[in-house]
Amino acid sequence: MADTTTIVIFGASGDLTQRKLIPALFNLRCKQRLPTNLQIVGVASTALTDADFRARLRAGVDQFAVAPFTENEWNDFSARLFYRAGARSVTDFKTYARLAQSLAELERGEVDRLYYLATPPQFFADIVAGLGRAGMTNESAGWRRVVIEKPFGSDLASARALNQKLHQTLDEKQIYRIDHYLGKETVQNILVSRFANMVYEPLWNRNYIDHVQITVAEEVGVGHRAGYYDGVGVLRDMFQNHLLQLLSLVAMEPPASFDADASREQKVQVLKAIRPIAMDQVEHHTMRGQYRGYREEAGVARDSQTETYAALRLFIDNWRWQDVPFYLRSGKRMAEKSSEVIIQFKQPPHLMFPNPRERELEPNRLALCLQPDEGIHLRTQAKVPDTVADLRSVDLEFHYRDSFGADAIPEAYERLLLDALNGDASLFTRGDRAEIAWSLLDPIIAAWHSPDAPLLATYEPGSWGPLDADEFIARDGRMWLRGCGRHVKEK
Ligand code: BG6
């Protein structure tokens, strides 16, 4: 990393900057992981002075940063924060010309620059074009990288068009498409569990695994984001990025090395092997729901058909995974916040224990607990003491907080910001991956919006989703599982 660096945040008056980006940068500063000579310049159309901007961010740091807030740390950090108001329209060239001038005055010399686009997605292409026209993406006086927030397009056509527009100004290696799930410790640990241990990988295939479940359940509803969310829905909001990324990590082949190209290539390969769901098969492989009361929320259309819950069954056509179903589900207003991956193994081929017939043996289950109680649980059989051979399922558990301490897990944005500054794109989405993910979802979205669309089920807020979702998986003789938390519950 060069010693002089500027981070320019577009959309700096928004929520993401206040709640996530600046607290993460503050934490990194306290850990002394940022370049010594760093300035952070916020840009947005709101009229603010540097002092207003700092005051606003101070509140965010106080509330959301992990590092203890001290006046000294804050004074040192806030002296690096600046604000430059841009024009109302992102296509107004004056903004970029003025910004270029203003940055040159702050930086005085060669500098590396990270542009972070924390704006609504419809502005991404224009901002990059504006930066390009103002000569601000030219790398002759230091590197220039652009972090693009989500969502990256809303279907294949728009993602492709966005990629094309970005590539008119930037080289792919300058583009960092963010998916904050990849910055989560537990998500990074999926590859470590699989490839730094010998016990799992020999079993990690169709011969031993019955099926895989990936659940990302949220307790919250759409809240103040209804304007964005309604018409988008959970498939676009959560599956295109987070859930398919999790699936890639669980299912990909081992890359030969830890570099960005090798691992991103394997992730793309596995997505390419997912069997596409044709429009006339959508009813068979997917189901969707909306929580009761969603249509009464502020900003939601009274007749909204937007799904707040979805479940998919996917197959991966390759040697490792042929015929192993991957069930993915995610929803808002569910019983609790919980993200987990469950690998359910097959039953042993023969049981010689005289376990009572009515008590069916639970198969082994490996649960990767991504949040909130981060860890790993392995459901295994044990003999009940003082019986001849009664069996009971017990959990072998690893909890991050026990092994590494309660505050060991940093915010996902810390790692991602640091990686972008260090030029490591491993945890960022490659352009072709975004397009392939959309190509898988487009037929589902089209079928859901067609005149003979399958049912939009309703579910109670605070439940585990629509009853139809239980029937959906029960058709395959399976049920939704919970594997994390201190007390293992089923459903
Ligand atoms: C975002 C979605 O990408 O992820 C939100 O837009 C969702 O709708 C959020 O709430 C969930 O992230 P996390 O880290 O809280 O699981």
288: exposed, middle or buried (Cβ count in 10 Å: 0-12, 13-18, 19+):
buried
Closest atom of ligand 1 to CA, residue 179: 3
CB 372 within 8 A of CB 366: no
H-run or E-run covering 282: helix 282-285
Residues of the chain with CATH 3.30.360.10: 182-406+428-474
Mean of pLDDT values over 347-370 = 84
pLDDT given at position 488: 44
Residue 151 C-alpha to ligand 1 middle, in angstroms? Answer: 11
Give catalytic status of residue 284 as yes or no. no
Residue 182 C-alpha to ligand 1 middle, in angstroms? Answer: 12
pLDDT given at position 489: 43
Q: Which CATH architecture has domain 4-149?
A: 3-Layer(aba) Sandwich (3.40)
pLDDT per residue as tens digits for the range 438-479: 999 999 999 999 998 988 999 999 999 999 999 999 999 999
Residue located nearest, by CA, to atom 8 of ligand 1: 237
Residue located nearest, by CA, to atom 15 of ligand 1: 218
Residue 2 C-alpha to ligand 1 middle, in angstroms? Answer: 33
Task: Give the pLDDT band of residue 388 (cuts 50, 70, 90).
Answer: confident
pLDDT given at position 356: 62
Mean of pLDDT values over 218-242 = 95
Cβ count near 139 (within 10 Å):
12
Residue located nearest, by CA, to atom 4 of ligand 1: 238
Residue 261 C-alpha to ligand 1 middle, in angstroms? Answer: 26
Whether the per-residue pLDDT at 257 is higher than 60: the answer is: yes
- φ/ψ of 154, rounded to 5, equals -125, 0
Residue 246 C-alpha to ligand 1 middle, in angstroms? Answer: 14
Whether the per-residue pLDDT at 40 is higher than 70: the answer is: yes
Residue 180 C-alpha to ligand 1 middle, in angstroms? Answer: 8
Q: CA Rg, the chain, in Å?
A: 24
pLDDT given at position 490: 42
Residue 357 C-alpha to ligand 1 middle, in angstroms? Answer: 44
Testing ligand 1's pocket by substitution, the residue of 186, 187, 229, 237 carrying the most ligand atoms inside 8 A of its CB is 237
Pocket (CB within 6 angstroms of ligand 1): 150, 218, 237, 339
User: What is the fold, at CATH topology level, of the domain defined by 182-406+428-474?
Assistant: Dihydrodipicolinate Reductase; domain 2 (3.30.360)
pLDDT given at position 3: 66
Q: Which segment of 123-127, 221-225, 313-317 scores lowest on mean pLDDT?
A: 221-225
Testing ligand 1's pocket by substitution, the residue of 16, 182, 242, 413 carrying the most ligand atoms inside 8 A of its CB is 242
Closest atom of ligand 1 to CA, residue 225: 8
Q: What is the pTM of this model?
A: 0.96
Q: What is the mean pLDDT of the chain?
A: 94
Closest atom of ligand 1 to CA, residue 237: 6
Q: Which segment of 296-305, 345-354, 417-426 scores lowest on mean pLDDT?
A: 345-354
Going from the C-alpha of 221 to that of each of 218, 331, 333, 455, 485, the distances in angstroms are 8, 9, 5, 21, 22
Closest atom of ligand 1 to CA, residue 229: 8
Mean of pLDDT values over 258-263 = 90
Cβ count near 437 (within 10 Å):
26
Residues of the chain with CATH 3.40.50.720: 4-149
Testing ligand 1's pocket by substitution, the residue of 15, 149, 180 carrying the most ligand atoms inside 8 A of its CB is 180
Whether the per-residue pLDDT at 76 is higher than 50: the answer is: yes
Which position among 211, 242, 284, 449 bears the catalytic label? 242
pLDDT given at position 2: 53
CB 316 within 8 A of CB 273: yes
The residue count for the chain:
491
Residue located nearest, by CA, to atom 14 of ligand 1: 181
pLDDT per residue as tens digits for the range 275-322: 999 999 999 999 999 999 999 999 999 999 999 999 999 999 999 999
Residue with tokens 């000294």: 72
Testing ligand 1's pocket by substitution, the residue of 20, 149, 152, 218 carrying the most ligand atoms inside 8 A of its CB is 218
Whether the per-residue pLDDT at 205 is higher than 60: the answer is: yes
Residue located nearest, by CA, to atom 9 of ligand 1: 238
Phi-psi domain of 310 (left: phi exceeds 0; alpha: psi -120 through 50; beta: other)? beta
